[in-house]
Amino acid sequence: MAETKVAPKTIRVEVKRQATPETAAFVEKFEFPYRSGMNITSLLGEIAMAPVTTEGKQTTAVTYDSNCLEEICGSCAMLITGKARMACSALVDKLMAETKDGVISLAPLTKFPVVRDLAVDRSVLFENLKKVQAWVPIDGSYDLGPGPRQFPQIQEERYPLSNCISCTICMEVCPQFNEATGFVGAATIAQAKLFNMDPAGAVLKEERLRALAGDGGIQECGFAQNCVQACPKQLPLTEAISDMGRDVFVQQVKDFFAR
């Protein structure tokens, strides 16, 4: 019992795979000689170098989204031992200690349509960010000049929100983010707050608040607070939802009496 914990000889992985969005999913098992200090990205690299299953069957490299490999692009979110996290920052040694049998399971996120293997289509987040106009409107046909002054206190409050990497883990872990509610998710609400607090972005504040009162908006939040627990970048998501909940309500009251 003790020797397997101290010196594991191999790393065993189970990958849930799917060739196309329509075909059925299946699981493939892989086993590699143990090497310390690996993460899931390097593990998937090992598979890509020699894509042979434990049974000796020749297969293909596992498809997954990745780009920066240092938890800054938000691409490689997946279910690792059943929980949503980033492949780049998930460490194999920790995961093997975490699981009972030492087998690391990889699966695609469950709330988004699978494209292939571990790659999913997360364009719903992009659409949501467009709906709340999560940007500073500075495009124009002439030079708008320098931007307005931003006080350090505002910068300090905005900076943690600007760390969002659009990985969609907050949405994956949310019990309210599903097809029945069509909830917008914590990331979009936090980005709406980020741009509402921008001195120039605030020009669209009311439109963002009205958008978030639509069906699937901020009201669908059930405050399970999974988002803030799971967020790999530690965004103050529940605080953003609370603050935006108040602002959306005030805007709705204003609109009701101004109509």
Partner 1 sequence: MASVAAPAPPSNQHPIKGVQPLRAGEGNSFVLRRLHSLTGIVPIGAFLVEHIISNIEIVHGPLAYAQQVKFLNGLPLVRVLEWAFIFIPLAFHALYGVYIAIKGRPNVNVYPWAGNWMYLSQRVTGILALAYIIQHLYFQRFTGVSLPEHPGLAYWKVQYELSNPLMVAVYVIGMVVTCWHFAYGVWLFAAKWGITPGDRARKKFGWVCGVFGTVLCAAGLWSIIAIVNAPAVPFEDVMPAQQPGVMAPTVPVQNESQQQPPLTQQQ
Tokens standing for residue 121: 């289509």
219 touches partner 1 by CB under 8 A: yes
Interface residues for partner 1 in 111-130 (CB under 8 A)? 111-113, 121, 123-124, 127-128
Distance CA 154, CA 149 (A): 10
Amino acid at 18: Q
- For residue 141, give Cα distances in angstroms to 136, 144, 185: 16, 9, 34
Chain Cα centroid distance, residue 49: 27
Q: Closer CB to partner 1, residue 38 or residue 40?
A: 40
How far the first Cα of the chain sits from its last, in Å, is: 71
Give the residue among 183, 193, 197, 185 at the shortest CA–CA distance from 243.
193
Least distance in Å: CB of 237 to partner 1? 11
249 touches partner 1 by CB under 8 A: yes
Least distance in Å: CB of 211 to partner 1? 4
Going residue by residue from 27 to 56, which x/- string records binding to partner 1, judged by CB under 8 A?
------------------------------
Amino acid at 208: R
Distance CA 23, CA 164 (A): 33
Going residue by residue from 154 to 193, which x/- string records binding to partner 1, judged by CB under 8 A?
-----------------x-x-xxxxxxxxxx---x-----
**Residues contributing to the site for partner 1 (CB under 8 A):** 21, 82-83, 111-113, 121, 123-124, 127-128, 131-132, 171, 173, 175-184, 188, 210-226, 229-230, 236, 238-239, 241-249, 252
